[in-house]
């Protein structure tokens, strides 16, 4: 019942070599032969064995995707984008999740051996790899590309996080806010990945350019999660003394958390508090959250496309690419009440 290339060859009355060429669209097969082989293969329901072709050709037609976790907005969408272009090209997607529960933190460690000899290229999502890990990876000789953030030693596809954060903060400043809070990542995020720090830098740049003071008590960690945002908001709201009139959140999820907590306390948005995030999370439009939008789906697509081009023989296809971000004004920002 198991149909192999041999069966197709026999029925089509050609050699297995010809079947192989015909099926893969290689040249040097007459149109007539190709058609015959194709129809026979179809009829028999022949599917080449990946193991066998992989062993024989040295190519697995599989791309690995290393992610901190899959159950978060950015990752889910980026994975979806990658999957889409891979699938359309007949490539397989081997998923490696480190099962992190925090935004960027990883629970399990990544070993180069997980990946060795079974993929043609590796995409790394938003993960800080240590120099040794990158070295190991390069050692395998396969193309490595990061998505969503920079990884030292290999090109990446991502937005200019610092610029995005700066622009978001400047939106608040342009609205007239001077007392601006900032929700950053947790210690874990900041250690494991560079993006949080870039966003912090962008915030600080905007503030200092506007001649505004940084208020340490208004710069609190939120772990990039909704519940972290809730906690951070509570912490700021509970502060004695004046409250910020606006908060820039390093992610929409945190901003949404702040919204929930504000509502709970009867703090009106944007009348009493302006809020801006980064991402354009699925929930942001329904919630009316102003944000600096980015598109992980697109970033995944772009990265996967580059990798496929590289594997397709176009050397130099894999290169750094800065993706766009854009301000989406909704209903969570307004000039400060006076």
Partner DNA sequence: CTGTTAGCGCATTCAG
Partner DNA sequence: CTGAATGCGCTAACAG
DSSP E strands, the chain: 62-67, 92-97, 121-125, 144-147, 156-159, 180-184, 219-221, 246-249, 274-279, 290-293, 321-323, 326-328
Q: Closer to a second copy at the Cβ: 108 or 209? A: 108
Region binding DNA by CB under 7 A among candidate stretches 47-55, 137-145, 247-255, 265-273: 47-55
Q: Closer to DNA at the Cβ: 20 or 299? A: 20
Question: In Å, how far from its chain's centre is CA 245?
Answer: 31
HSE, side-chain direction, 13 A CA sphere, residue 152? 10
Q: Is 260 in the site for a second copy (CB under 8 A)?
A: yes
State which of positions 51-90 bind DNA (CB under 7 A).
52-53, 55-59
Q: Is 135 in the site for a second copy (CB under 8 A)?
A: no
Region binding a second copy by CB under 8 A among candidate stretches 52-60, 168-176, 241-249, 311-319: 52-60
Token pair recorded at residue 335? 């000039």
State which of positions 144-203 bind a second copy (CB under 8 A).
none
Give the residue, chosen from 10, 13, 15, 49, that forms a contact with a second copy under the rule CB under 8 A: 49
Q: Is 237 in the site for a second copy (CB under 8 A)?
A: no
Q: Is 226 in the site for a second copy (CB under 8 A)?
A: yes
Q: Is 33 in the site for DNA (CB under 7 A)?
A: yes
Cβ burial 145-168 (10 Å sphere, 16+ → b, else e): bbbbbbbeebbbbbbebbbbbbbb
Q: What is the DSSP string of 81-106?
A: HHHHHHHHTT-EEEEEE---SSSS--
Give the residue, chosen from 38, 44, 48, 153, that forms a contact with DNA under the rule CB under 7 A: 48
Residue 55 has φ and ψ, to the nearest 5°, of -65, -45
Token pair recorded at residue 279? 């991402």
Give the residue, chosen from 1, 25, 32, 109, that forms a contact with DNA under the rule CB under 7 A: 32
Region binding DNA by CB under 7 A among candidate stretches 16-24, 83-91, 151-159, 273-281: 16-24
Give the residue, chosen from 1, 25, 27, 338, that forms a contact with DNA under the rule CB under 7 A: 27
């Amino acid at each position: 019942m198991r149909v192999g290339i041999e069966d197709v060859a026999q029925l089509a009355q050609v050699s297995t070599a010809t079947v192989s060429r015909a099926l893969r669209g290689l040249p040097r097969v007459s149109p007539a032969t190709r058609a015959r082989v194709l129809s026979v293969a179809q009829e028999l329901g022949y599917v080449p064995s990946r193991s066998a072709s992989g062993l024989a050709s040295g190519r697995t037609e599989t791309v690995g995707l290393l992610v901190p976790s899959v159950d978060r907005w950015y990752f889910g969408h980026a994975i979806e984008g990658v999957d889409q272009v891979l699938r359309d090209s007949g490539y397989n997607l081997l998923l490696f999740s480190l099962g992190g529960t925090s935004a960027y933190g990883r629970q399990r460690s990544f070993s180069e051996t997980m990946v060795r000899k079974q993929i043609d290229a590796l995409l790394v999502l938003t993960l800080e790899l240590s120099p040794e890990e990158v070295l190991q990876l390069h050692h395998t000789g396969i193309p490595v590309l990061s998505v969503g953030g920079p990884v030292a030693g290999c090109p990446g596809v991502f937005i200019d996080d610092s610029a995005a954060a700066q622009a978001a903060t400047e939106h608040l400043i342009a609205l007239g806010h001077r007392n601006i809070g900032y929700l950053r990542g947790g210690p874990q995020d900041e250690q494991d990945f560079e993006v949080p720090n870039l966003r912090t830098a962008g915030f600080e740049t905007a503030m200092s350019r506007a001649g505004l003071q940084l208020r340490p008590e208004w710069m609190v960690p939120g772990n990039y999660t909704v519940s972290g945002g809730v906690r951070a908001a509570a912490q700021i709201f509970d502060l004695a003394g004046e409250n910020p009139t606006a908060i820039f959140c390093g992610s929409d999820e945190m901003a949404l958390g702040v919204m929930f907590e504000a509502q709970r306390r009867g703090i009106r948005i944007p009348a009493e508090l302006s809020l801006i995030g980064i991402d354009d999370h699925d929930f942001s439009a329904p919630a009316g959250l102003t944000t600096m939008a980015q598109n992980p789906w697109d970033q995944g697509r772009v990265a996967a496309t580059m990798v496929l081009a590289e594997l397709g023989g176009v050397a130099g296809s894999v290169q750094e690419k800065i993706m766009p971000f854009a301000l989406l004004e909704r209903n969570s920002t307004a000039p400060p009440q006076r």
